[in-house]
Amino acid sequence: MSSLRRRLDLGLGISLVLLFLIQWGAISLFTRDLVESYVEERLFHDAEGILALLEPGVDGQLQLSETAISPVYRRPFSGHYYQLEMSGREFYSRSLWDDTLQVPQTSVREQAFEISGPQDQPLIAVAGRYQKGGETVRIIVAEDLSPLAAPIRGFQLAYGLVTLAALIGLLLIQRRLVQRGLAPLVRLRRQVSRLNSGELDQLATDVPEEIRPLVDEINHLLTVTGKRLQRSRDALGNLTHALKNPLSHLNQIAGDPTLPLPAEDRTSIHRALDTITQRIDRELRRARVAGAGRPGQLFRPVQDLPPLVNTIERLHRGRQLDVDLSVSSRKAYPLDRDDMLELFGNLIDNATKWAQHRVRISLAESGNVLEAVVEDDGPGCPPDECKALLERGQRLDESSPGHGLGLSIVSAIVVDYGGALKLERSRTLGGLRSEVHFPLPDGGESSG
């Protein structure tokens, strides 16, 4: 779909261009008509002046005294011409030289024409019929329009330049007005982005009334979804708590020596119950770590990792473990908080489970990549067996409690974010070293 701003700019721009072109054309046409009307009026006055110069001669016929006529009509090809027709006689201005004015005969008393004159001059001519001394006199007066063409073109050019400047100004103003008109949509888009990253719970309602219904519907949907999510989280917590006691009771029954069960079946039952119990413990740990956090919140390592580490340390309080956490950035990253807590929870839980004394956790930003390393001083694993750790349900030591889901879940989360997970032996601590890389858009910072 094309940009709404581009469509508005294009539509309004084309409308303004067409409007100004029509205006420029109309003004140019009206200006030429005005000039021609003025010339025609003046030519009719000249015709009446010539008519006044007609006087009866000695023979009683009307004669024209040329000496009283303006000198411009006596200069050859001056661009000013007259022609008289009466009683079969014709009088021509000396400026016509040997040419005549070819004006059609009409029954109209006064009429204007555009004709071609001497030396192909473009002429505007007026013809009028008058009565004087009992005779009908037809007087034709013409003027060359060439000297007026240059001023008219100059006016059209000047007006065109002014029109163009006004058009450019209006287009810039229109673009600014469109930007201001669409500013609420730009703010709404930013709010949706912040909503998606978890920085906001609701969209601001101080928006134009045209988009207010949309904002209200989105906020209503967010409220309903949030309540449903909280109910699901509460239900999951209640379910896991409710299962703890029955599972403990089943463990006691399975361990009762008076119960006639084969040793192999008793071991299978204990193993299945341990798997269920650890899965429940894992979900309870996730619920305690996540707390009341909203889904989609930004991941803030300096705030989110210390409580996670403290929670896992309390689970291993009976062991003397040195867990070192190092976070070099105080930024908030566009990574879902719950996903990152689950990822680091599994990595740290796995490291503390196998560590003898030390666990080291470090997180740093390098270019557009977020790098995290979790390593321990446990037994580690051979390089050819590290890949098996990422397969769901695979464990290299079946004697250790667990269900083999932790690192496979970590791998799935890393793949979802387009990252990379590398497992190898730690060169400094000697145990397993888990290294995770997450690509970050625009340097990764969403907020300080």
pLDDT for 318-349, tens place per residue?
A: 788 889 999 988 888 888 888 888 899 889 98
Residue 375 tokens read as 């390593």
Residues 6+ apart with CB under 8 A from 173: none
User: Per mean pLDDT, which of 17-26, 243-252, 271-280, 384-393 is the most reliable?
Assistant: 17-26
Kindly state whether residues 212 and 113 are assigned to the same domain. Answer: no
Q: Which of 292, 318, 334 is the last residue of a domain?
A: 292
* 143 and 206 co-located in one domain: no
Q: With bands split at pLDDT 50, 70 and 90, how would you rate the model's confidence at 61?
A: confident
Residue 292 confidence (pLDDT): 47
Q: Could you please report the per-residue DSSP string of 34-50?
A: HHHHHHHHHHHHHHHHH
Query: Is the confidence at residue 129, as pLDDT, over 80?
Result: yes
Residue given tokens 């890393």 in the structure block: 414
8 shares its domain with 126: yes
pLDDT band of residue 395 (cuts 50, 70, 90) is very low
CA distances from 180 to 193, 204, 210 (A): 20, 18, 15
What is the largest distance, in Å, between two alpha-carbon atoms of the chain?
A: 166
> What is the rounded distance in angstroms from the CA atom of residue 228 to the CA atom of residue 295?
12
pLDDT of residue 436: 94
Task: Identify the top-confidence range among 216-225, 288-297, 384-393.
Answer: 216-225
pLDDT-derived band at 358 (thresholds 50, 70, 90) equals very high
State mean pLDDT over 238-267.
76
Do residues 27 and 126 share a domain?
yes
Q: Given 246, 268, 292, which residue is the final one in a domain?
A: 292
pLDDT of the residue at 387: 67
pLDDT of 221 reads 87
Q: What angle is formed at CA 311 by the lines to CA 310 and CA 316, rounded to 5 degrees?
A: 90
Rounded mean pLDDT, 33-56: 88
Q: Does residue 142 share a domain with residue 9?
A: yes
Give the chain's domain count. Answer: 2
- Read off φ and ψ for residue 194, nearest 5 degrees: -70, -35
- Residue where a domain terminates, one of 292, 315, 347: 292
Same-domain pairing of 9 and 92? yes
| Full domain range(s) for residue 134 | 4-149
Structure tokens at 123: 């002429």
Residues 145 and 29 in one domain: yes
Phi, psi of 411, deg, nearest 5: -60, -40
CATH of the domain at 122: 3.30.450
Q: Is residue 178 part of a domain?
A: no
Residue 97 located in a structural domain: yes
- 195 within domain boundaries: no
- Do 211 and 125 fall within a single domain? no
